[in-house]
Chains A and B, each alone.
Chain A
Amino acid sequence: MSLQSRRLPYRRAYASLGTALALFCAILAAGALLAILGYVVVQGVGAINWDFLTQLPHPVGIPGGGVGNGILGTLIILAIATAMAVPIGLLTGIYLALFGRGTVPEALRFLSDVLSGVPSIAIGLFAYAVLVAPLKHFSGFSASFAFMMLMLPLLVRTSEQAIRSVPQAVREGALALGMSNFRATVRIVLPTARPAIITALLLAIARVTGETAPLLFTAFGSQYWETNPNNPMAVLALQVFNYAISPYPNWQSQAWAGALLLVLAVFVLSLGARLMLRRAMRGLEA
């Protein structure tokens, strides 16, 4: 079927049809997903109020109640996870950027890629084996550990690229002025790479904020205002999951409201990351 053997009008019609199909698929993909979000907003927005954000969950049958402890637990677990992931990720990124080639850095990059593809539930099992089984109790800290593992690959990869993209002349200039490598990295190179690294951090936090699977057997959930990460903790995503599969209409409507909160949080983080990235680009051009 060579091109010449077909008449042009036929081919043009065929091309229009194909373009229309592609357009239809793009609308289908974006539209279906928008429909899901729209549904979440419609179902969730009515159940969000001050009590929902600040109260403890009520027992079955008593109306009202909220997810305040889950929001608090999410923030605490995320804070601890970030505090652990940033130093490890940054140091590994610095290592990969400075000692670029060779077997060891390549192996480390491969390991990092492997980790980024590991399902979160398997990482939850790891956190359980290391921090829950030996201590014989669930804890918020074990959830932070699992979140840290989920955040690391993105942090490592991006900080490596960000540090690499700082021009070699900048580093050499600092060294020529008599700075030690340590000072040059901390005072000159890292500040230049900072917007890109913060972008990655925001994206990593966005990724784990709605993560639920590893929480089932790490944070486990709680009915109280739990602030001690050594104890089982309430987490918003986990509450959404538990309320969703419950048979009680009051809890189900709270699940929608919780889902809306999660979506909002993730979108704000992603948009923040985009803005940071734009600033980073401008910084490099300038």
Chain B
Amino acid sequence: MTEQSRFRRVTRFVSPADRGFAALVYGGSILFALLIVGLFVELVLGSWPSIAAFGPSFLWKSAWDPITSKFGALPMIYGTVVTSFIGIVLAAFVGIMAALFLADFAPRWISAPLSFLIELLAAVPSVVYGLWGLFVLAPFVRTAIGPALQKILGWLPLFSGPIYGVGLLTAGIILALMIVPTVTAISRDVIAAIPRDLREASMAVGGTRWETATRVVLPAARIGIFGACVLALGRALGETIAVTMVIGNRPEISASLFAPSYTLASVIANEFTEATTSIYISALIELGLILFLVSIVVNALARLMIWSVRGST
């Protein structure tokens, strides 16, 4: 008899108390499922007036004007994509390197407390990052990072124009700081799950520790690490408060990374309680729906990749 079917027999419910218990368990699970389905349904219902009024062109129109009730999501989509991209590029490099150090290079007495610290830092609330970003990072970008970048790369449109301090670049850096713990913690787990034999084989044929790490371990762990990055990207896309505090909140598309911008999440946070017309509210909820759908796709992708590695090892 297999483990599973034995499990089934044991969990057959016969007595009246058991039947009540089963009803309770089913009821709780159904409620849980209903809550999640309800979340999706409510977002669709709430955004319906906006979907009906603007159609799919909502996604590529760039006007965002509550007075004339013209709404387009393009500036927010642009801002979300650019800030998340900056965040993930910075966080992926630092995070993967840190993970490699923690899993393969560091002795235990260093790696254990350092891992613990980095995991603890993943729990710092985003409003705290936002506060720091607003009062420390934004002035630093205005007076130091921005001018330095402009001096070297100012001929690129990416680094041209006035530097306000708040803007795409500052938001991207804050996001990087917030997701580094995610990238590091998951990558470290994935790297640690790569079998010892692979490392020993590489060392046995004379590979140095670094060669083993970069040519054997990282390639073997690449799908899981990629999954960790995608999962972190999902967090970055939906991050609200910290970004709202440092992005400048202006619904415009500009080439410069120093320019103020807006993200899907931050426009909802900023304007929802001030939205007066129903079409305005509906347009904001549609932004939430877009965010919801994107986050599902990104997270499903990430989980598939992380599972595929952990499953095979």
- With both beta carbons as reference points, the residue of chain A lying nearest to B136 in the complex is identified as A39
Q: A33-B118, A87-B28, A122-B288 are in contact. Are A182 and B299 (CB under 8 A)?
A: no
Please name all residues of chain A whose beta carbon is closer than 8 Å to the beta carbon of B130 when the two chains form the complex: 241, 244
- Tell me how far the C-beta of A268 lies from the nearest C-beta in chain B, rounded to whole angstroms: 11
User: Which of A46-54, A56-64, A91-99, A192-200 lies on the face that meets chain B?
Assistant: A91-99
Counting CB contacts under 8 A, is A279 at the interface? no
Counting CB contacts under 8 A, is B241 at the interface? yes
Q: Give the most central of A11, A91, A172: most B CB within 10 Å.
A: A91
Contact in complex: B245, A244 (CB < 8 Å) = yes
- Tell me how far the C-beta of B102 lies from the nearest C-beta in chain A, rounded to whole angstroms: 6
Contact in complex: B134, A245 (CB < 8 Å) = yes
- With both beta carbons as reference points, the residue of chain A lying nearest to B97 in the complex is identified as A25
Determine the main DSSP class of A at the interface with B.
helix
- Tell me how far the C-beta of B303 lies from the nearest C-beta in chain A, rounded to whole angstroms: 6
User: Which of A65-73, A75-83, A202-210, A223-231 lies on the face that meets chain B?
Assistant: A202-210
Q: Please report the C-alpha to C-alpha distance between residue A259 and residue B11 in the assembled complex, in whole angstroms.
A: 48
Counting CB contacts under 8 A, is A29 at the interface? yes
Counting CB contacts under 8 A, is A19 at the interface? yes
Please name all residues of chain A whose beta carbon is closer than 8 Å to the beta carbon of B27 when the two chains form the complex: 91
Please name all residues of chain B whose beta carbon is closer than 8 Å to the beta carbon of A29 when the two chains form the complex: 94-95, 98, 118, 180-181, 184
User: Which of B58-66, B71-79, B157-165, B209-217 lies on the face that meets chain A?
Assistant: B209-217
Contact in complex: A182, B120 (CB < 8 Å) = no
Counting CB contacts under 8 A, is A240 at the interface? yes
Please name all residues of chain A whose beta carbon is closer than 8 Å to the beta carbon of B269 when the two chains form the complex: 121, 213, 216
Q: List 27 A-B contacts (CB under 8 A).
A: A19-B105, A26-B106, A29-B95, A29-B98, A30-B98, A33-B117, A40-B128, A87-B28, A88-B32, A91-B25, A107-B33, A117-B298, A119-B239, A119-B292, A121-B288, A125-B42, A125-B285, A125-B288, A128-B272, A129-B45, A172-B10, A180-B15, A180-B18, A182-B20, A182-B21, A210-B126, A266-B125
* Chain A interface (Cβ < 8 Å from any Cβ of B): 3, 11-12, 14-19, 21-26, 28-30, 32-34, 36-37, 39-40, 87-92, 94-96, 98-101, 107-108, 111-123, 125-126, 128-130, 149, 152, 156, 168, 171-172, 175, 180-183, 185, 206-207, 209-213, 216-217, 220, 237, 240-241, 244-245, 252, 255-256, 259, 262-263, 266-267, 270-271, 274
